[in-house]
Structures are given as C-alpha cells and as structure tokens.
Amino acid sequence: MEALPLFHRLRGETCVLVGAGKLAARKLELLRAAGACVRVIAPQCCAEIERLAASDALILIRRRFRAADLNGAVLAVAATSTPAVNRAVHRAARVRGMPVNVVDQPELCTVTFPAIVDRDPVCLAIGSGGAAPVLARMLRTRIEALLPERTGELARLAREYRPAVRAHIGDPTARRAFWEQVFSGRIAESIYSGRPDAARRELEALLASAGEDSAPRGEVYLVGGGPGDPDLLTFRALRLMQQADVVLYDRLVSEPVLALVRRDAERVYVGKRAGTHAVPQPDINAQLIAHARAGRRVLRLKGGDPFIFGRGGEEIEQLAAAGIPFQVVPGITAASGCASYAGIPLTHRDYAQAVRFQTGHRRGDTVDLDWEALARPGQTLVFYMPLEGLAIICEQLIRHGLPATLPAALVERGTRPEQQVFSATLATLAELVARHRVHAPTLLIVGEVVKLRERLAWFEDRSPT
C-alpha cells in the first residue's frame, strides 16, 4: 500500500494553511468542513479568503511563513506558488513530527487529500498515491452515482438506535445480522425514498421481534429493466438488482441487463422458450409470494416499464392481497427507448400533438382495435407486439382514412447494438419487412414524425432501407 488511509478528526484543532490563493481556498474549504480552526499565513490573499477572514471564520496572519507558525497545530498545508516556501513548510513540519501536505508536490507530502464521496457521516476517500488524481476523481464520480443520496441519513438512523440495539440483542452475531437486515432491506429503502418515519417504525418493529423465532420478512421489487441497453437502467433499479436473493425474469430482459443482477442471486427464467409456453401468470404470482414468504428479497425483472403492457399491475395486486411488501421501479418503456435510438421524436409541434401506445397483438386472423380512433390525424401511434399483425395493422389504418404515404417504421431490437430500423410508408412497410429476417422484439411507430429520422438518426450505422 502506497499510503494508509486514516480519517483525521480535526474538529476544534488548529491547522496551518500557508498561502491564500485559489488553491489554498479549496483546501481551506475542506479543513473548515471538518471543523478545524484554520490559521492562514500569507502576505497577500485572494478575495474569497479575505471575505472569510472578515467574518472571523479563520485567523489570517499577513506576512511570510515562519517555522514557529506551526506551534500548537496538528496539520500543516502549504499551497503557495513559491517552491522555497513550500519546502520550508515541509521541513518545519517534519522537524515537529507533524503531518504535512504540499499542494501538487507529492514528494513533499506525508499526507494527501483524497477524492471524497461525502454522505456525512459516511465518507469514502479515494487516493491514487499521487499517481493519477484525475483517475481518482473520475472513480469518485462513478461511486457518487451508485451511492444513494440519503446514505448518510441511514447511518444517522443507525447511530440513533445503536445503544438500544446493543441493549436488546446481546449476541454479536445476531446483532450483525440485525444491522445487515436494516441496511439492505425495507428500512434502508424507506430512508432512500425519503420516508424516515416509516423507516423508524419498521426498525422498531424489527427490534421488538428480534430474538423471537419469527421468519425474516421478504419483499418483492417489481423492476423495469428498460428496452435492452443497460445504461438505461435507473439507479434504483440497479441497487435493487444488486441486493436481490432471487430474480424472476422473462424473455425481454436483455443479457447485459441480467448480467448486472447480483452474482449469487438465484435466477429463474419465466418467459417463453422456443416451442414451449411461458410460465402461466398465476404460477409466476405464486412463485413471487412463496419466495417472499421464505424471507427472500425477490426481484421481478421485466423488460421496459412494468406498468406498460407488462402485467405488472396484476402481479402486485396478488402481492398486496397476500400482504407482501413490494415496491415498483419504473423503466424506460420500449416506445421511449426505440424512438430515441431511432431518431424519431414521438411528439412534435408541427406533426403530432399526442402519442398513443397500443398493443398490436394479433388474435387469429384479426387485430381487433378501435381503428376509427387510431386513424385520427395529428397523433403518433406506437404499436407494441406488432410483428405478426403488421400487414393487417397497416391495411386497416389506410382503410380507416390514414394516407397510404404516411411514414411508418419498424424498430427491431431497439437500443441494443443489433438495432435495425425498417423505415417506409403504411403502404410499403409490411412488404419491406417481409423481405428481411426480423428478430424480436420489434416496435411499430406510425406518423409524420417518422420522417424526421432522415435527419435525426444517430445510433445505428446501417439500415436496411
């Protein structure tokens, strides 16, 4: 290890900052955030530090640095542009055995400032041993995105209840299991979604039942996995995917999305397989309930958004009736994903003032829809499950009054690397599609807006039209 990370408690302690330019101002901000009393030594100073000095937030000594300035301090930071001064600070600190940081000169530092992810009182520090500060900062950004905003609040809740938990659960192993349950289940989720009172109630209930032989309570996460590109997942979806014990997923969930589910979670496929039927809906509902009753965190992962042609509503109705706690996480629905990645705005001031999501599912030889309503002008039509009924849909729309020349596009495997877009008109689309081997899933978009794609397509670099 290049250096040992330690957290330095500075509240009420004196720190010396030599230099008062822009770089110094940044260090000053950090030292003050940690509650330090900062003694700034500099003949001149920038406006920001001048302002702070006027408000008594620091002690400003307007002259050159002297070694005795370090007396009584616990940390020295040099942030001047004069190498000789920086070296002098380093030397004086070393003589006193005091930790010292010299900005941008790792060889003169015994301590360095890491990149910080601050969820006070939780704090993550990332260092690169001075080798690549930019890399450390980029990693920080990634971790920022993964850690829920309210992580600190969760830690504060734990602090508040620690004495009670210690008094109530004597066995350290049981205590650890208790906290794991708090940090990875419903209580944490209540905090993350901004419901601290619910979290408190749940924590108290959990504590009251600790030691009893009650089975842990499972729960179900109904999560929208989006149309395929894993970058389109929400932060919440990803978090729940990574804490689930078991996942039930279907055909529409893409491989790269599935790969983000916790590695040791049990995976149960409930979609159709070639030649066989999908697991019937009542069976899926029963499985969700059984897993949750066994105390598991169950991820029900669906393509797109669970509440759009996803039967998500039916699944959670059953859960609600069975008294199983659940939460629903929206996903990017195929219409949004495919339209964006195909360069087709679904609404447009000049062409479409409304957009309609429709299932195009064929039953026998017909697609039974309200064609009159669908053939109204000024709207974009999006058909889910359109492939088998494609010719019928196009024909009926023309028969009910939409122009045969109206632009229409079939988006195949939208947002995935294999995406293809078949772009034509109501009169010609079915024939164009019939000439190609098309893979599910596909989505049909009909309306004037489809022609904007000529200028706005950006994702796929080849197209069969």
Catalytic residue ranges: 250, 272
Residue of this chain nearest to ligand SAH (CB atom): 304
Cα-based angle 240, 245, 251 (whole degrees, multiple of 5): 75
Using the rule CB under 6 A, is 228 a contact of ligand SAH? yes
Using the rule CB under 6 A, is 36 a contact of ligand SAH? no
For 382, phi then psi, to 5°, come to -120, 120
Interaction residues for ligand SAH, span 206-225 (CB under 6 A): none
Which residue in 74, 109, 71, 88 sits closest to 18, CA to CA?
Answer: 88
Q: Contact with ligand SAH (CB under 6 A): which of 36, 334, 369, 424?
A: 334
**How many helices (H) and strands (E) would you count in the chain?**
17, 17
Using the rule CB under 6 A, is 93 a contact of ligand SAH? no
b/e map of 357-393 (b: 16 or more CB within 10 Å)? bbebbbeeeebebeeeebbeeebbbbbbbbbebbebb
Using the rule CB under 6 A, is 344 a contact of ligand SAH? no
Q: Contact with ligand SAH (CB under 6 A): which of 310, 389, 407, 447?
A: 310
Residue 298 CB, shortest distance to ligand SAH, in Å, is 18
Q: Residues with Cβ < 8 Å from 274, sequence gap 6 or more? A: none
Residue 143 CB, shortest distance to ligand SAH, in Å, is 29
Residue 112 CB, shortest distance to ligand SAH, in Å, is 46
The one segment of 109-117, 198-206, 287-295, 330-338 that binds ligand SAH by CB under 6 A: 330-338
Q: Contact with ligand SAH (CB under 6 A): which of 333, 340, 420, 423?
A: 333
The one segment of 43-51, 57-65, 82-90, 411-419 that binds ligand SAH by CB under 6 A: 411-419
Cβ atoms of 310 and 284 closer than 8 Å? no
Using the rule CB under 6 A, is 338 a contact of ligand SAH? yes
CA dihedral 27, 33, 34, 35 (to 10 degrees): 110
The tokens describing 272, both together, are 């159709």
Q: Contact with ligand SAH (CB under 6 A): which of 178, 192, 249, 309?
A: 309
Helix 196-209 and helix 172-184, axial crossing angle in degrees, nearest 10: 150
The one segment of 169-177, 215-223, 277-285, 437-445 that binds ligand SAH by CB under 6 A: 437-445
- Cα–Cα dist 60/264, whole Å: 56
The one segment of 148-156, 180-188, 302-310, 315-323 that binds ligand SAH by CB under 6 A: 302-310
In the chain, what are the helix, strand and coil shares in percent, each to the nearest 5? Answer: 40, 20, 40
Using the rule CB under 6 A, is 232 a contact of ligand SAH? no
Using the rule CB under 6 A, is 301 a contact of ligand SAH? no
Interface size with ligand SAH, residues (CB under 6 A) = 22
Residue 244 CB, shortest distance to ligand SAH, in Å, is 19
Which residue in 344, 322, 319 sits closest to 334, CA to CA?
Answer: 344
Other residues' Cβ atoms within 10 Å of the Cβ of residue 352: 20
The tokens describing 313, both together, are 């509503």
Using the rule CB under 6 A, is 424 a contact of ligand SAH? no
Using the rule CB under 6 A, is 341 a contact of ligand SAH? no
Residues that bind ligand SAH (CB under 6 A): 227-228, 252, 302-305, 308-310, 333-334, 338, 384-385, 411, 413-415, 441-443
